[in-house]
Amino acid sequence: MPDTLAAEAPETPGVIARTECRSCGRGELAVFLSLGDMPLPDALVQPEQVAAPEPRYPLDVAFCPNCSLVQILQDVSPEQLFVDNYLYFSSFSTGLLRHSAEHAGALIAERGLGSDSLVVEVASNDGYLLRNFLEAGVPVLGIDPAPQQAAAAAALGVPTLTEFFDADLARRLRSEGKRADVIVANNVMAHTPTLNSFVEGVQILLADDGIATIENTYVKDLVDGCEFDTIYHEHFCYFSCTAVDALARRHGLYLNGVEHFPSLQGGTLRWRLGTRAAQSRSVSEYLEAERLSGLTGVEYYREFGSRVKWIRTELRELLASLRADGKSIAAYGAAAKGSTLVNFVGIGPETVDYVVDRNVHKHGLLMPGTLLPIRDPSVLLETMPDFLLLLAWNYKDEIAEQQAEYLRRGGRFIVPVPRPEIL
């Protein structure tokens, strides 16, 4: 596929198509992957709505040659993406709970947090992280626009503002006398269409000697692991250290530390930002490694685009040959990434009987686009499908533990990326 420039992206109703970089504002974005017209990944379908047409939006991924930020070109309104349809509750993942408790404990010890401190979390979800600070007597403030999740957090005693975080909200909080010793923002910086306002807000709200820790999937892990299914309309940006460093500096913040969690969400980085420059060796090492491995040039991403198309072909052939042999197939994980995968590859009810998910709020609904029914995982042992396609491949080990009995009875897992294979 020849690269196209963002300026040539077609107009679609209900979508703003970007022609300028979300970070540095320059044009000349190079598109290296087009995933086609996709439904919103969390817009699960009610059974009575099956006949109604679903809105679909183009999904093009581009690289900024100026600041190295990888980003999608299309903006669907955040209200539509995160409020109406959002059913993700962080506390359903035991691995994430463990990771969060460790992070909170380390911050409390390292920063000497106590009853006169303030920890603010952006995208605090159901209070999965802040509860740890609360239990240690550290005052907290959660910010999350999703009402169901905010209500769940409030039930735990975590005060939560049901709003989107940006520079305006940060100014308001600061005018009320609030300054944060620690700001935590996990898996949210990629979710904001107004990236610059978000980072400006962090700078405004942070106390003079405060730190912000920001976690997001690492674009290098995404590309190297061919995790194209983490690309969807909720994720506007895909960050490298090079891109974060440039973004932070433009807002008077410094990238002072980097930590890597290879098994978290398919590969996550934790960036540590401060109002003063105190760069650890890890930062310079990451920046140098990114330059050497090509992350700062578009060729690296073009090659990724080719591999994504190869996976689609291979997975289609694998599933078709299993069905031709009379095998039954179910899938695991009705999350957004699963929606990208089944819609891009084209996996519908003719191939997969149903999808299971532990989130009880999703049971009885259907996946957007391909309309696969979502059921409770207990149905696996009742129906014993021959194969289980792991759409939530990032939780492979956790699923293997949960589904030990399914595996013991002869069920097999299919992992779709980085290359489709039967385990």
Residue 80 per-residue DSSP state: I
Task: Candidates 17-25, 145-153, 310-318, 350-358: pick the segment binding Zn ion (CB under 5 A).
Answer: 17-25
Q: Determine the residue with CB nearest Zn ion.
A: 21
The dihedral built from the CA positions of residue 245, 184, 216 and 270, taken in this order, carries a sign that is positive
- For residue 306, the tally of other CB atoms under 10 A from its CB is 11
Q: Which two tokens stand for residue 18?
A: 């970007």
Shortest gap between Cβ of 8 and Zn ion (angstroms)?
18
Q: Give the residue among 65, 76, 82 at the shortest CA–CA distance from 28.
A: 65
Partnered with residue 182 across adjacent β-strands are 119, 211
Shortest Cβ 200–Zn ion spacing (Å): 16
| Residue 239 CB, nearest approach to Zn ion (Å) | 12
Residues within window 57-116 making contact with Zn ion, judged by CB under 5 A: 64, 66-67, 69
What is the signed CA dihedral for 112, 118, 123, 125, rounded to 10 degrees? 90
Stretch in the footprint of Zn ion (CB under 5 A) among 20-28, 78-86, 372-380, 403-411: 20-28
Site residue total, Zn ion (CB under 5 A): 7
Q: What are phi and psi of 123, to 5 degrees?
A: 65, 55
Reference 267, options 75, 105, 66, 417; nearest CA is 417
Q: How far is the CB of 273 from Zn ion (least distance, A)?
A: 18
Contact between 21 and Zn ion (CB under 5 A)?
yes
Q: Is the distance from CB of 369 to CB of 54 less than 8 angstroms?
A: yes
Q: Which is nearer to Zn ion, 86 or 301 (CB)?
A: 301
Closest to Zn ion by CB, 111 or 250: 250
Cross-strand pairs, 260:
269
Question: Which residues touch 43 (CB under 8 Å, ≥6 apart)?
Answer: 54, 55, 85, 368
Q: Which is nearer to Zn ion, 43 or 243 (CB)?
A: 243
Write the binding mask 29 to 68 for Zn ion: x where contact by CB under 5 A, - elsewhere.
-----------------------------------x-xx-
Closer CB to Zn ion, residue 24 or residue 154? Answer: 24
Indicate which single residue of 17, 23, 40, 245 sits in contact with Zn ion (rule: CB under 5 A): 23
Using the rule CB under 5 A, give the single segment among 22-30, 184-192, 337-345, 411-419 that binds Zn ion: 22-30
Would you say 300 or 395 has its CB closer to Zn ion? 300
Q: Toward Zn ion, which CB reaches closer, 27 or 349?
A: 27
Rounded Cα distance, 267 and 260, in Å: 7
Q: Kindly state the smallest distance separating residue 381's Cβ from Zn ion, in Å.
A: 50
Among residues 30 and 407, whose Cβ is nearest to Zn ion? 30
Report the nearest approach of Zn ion to the CB of residue 238 (Å): 13
Using the minimum distance from each CB to Zn ion, give the nearer residue, 23 or 91.
Answer: 23
Nearer to Zn ion, 21 or 205 (CB): 21
CB of 66 to Zn ion, least distance (A): 5
User: Least distance (Å) from Zn ion to the CB of residue 110?
Assistant: 33
CA distance 259 to 348: 39
Instruction: Report the residue number, 231 or 322, with the smaller CB distance to Zn ion.
Output: 231
Of positions 3, 12, 24, 56, contacts Zn ion by CB under 5 A: 24
Pure H helices in 156-298? 167-175, 195-205, 219-224, 241-250, 281-293
We find the least distance from the C-beta atom of residue 265 to Zn ion, in angstroms, to be 24
Q: Give long-range contacts, CB 8 A cutoff, 24+ apart: 150-157.
A: 150/124, 152/89, 152/91, 152/126, 152/127, 153/124, 153/125, 153/126, 153/127, 154/127, 156/126, 156/127, 156/131, 157/131
Smallest separation, CB 23 to Zn ion (Å): 5
Q: Report CA Rg, the chain.
A: 21
User: And the tokens for 300?
Assistant: 């690296």
Chain positions contacting Zn ion, by CB under 5 A: 21, 23-24, 64, 66-67, 69
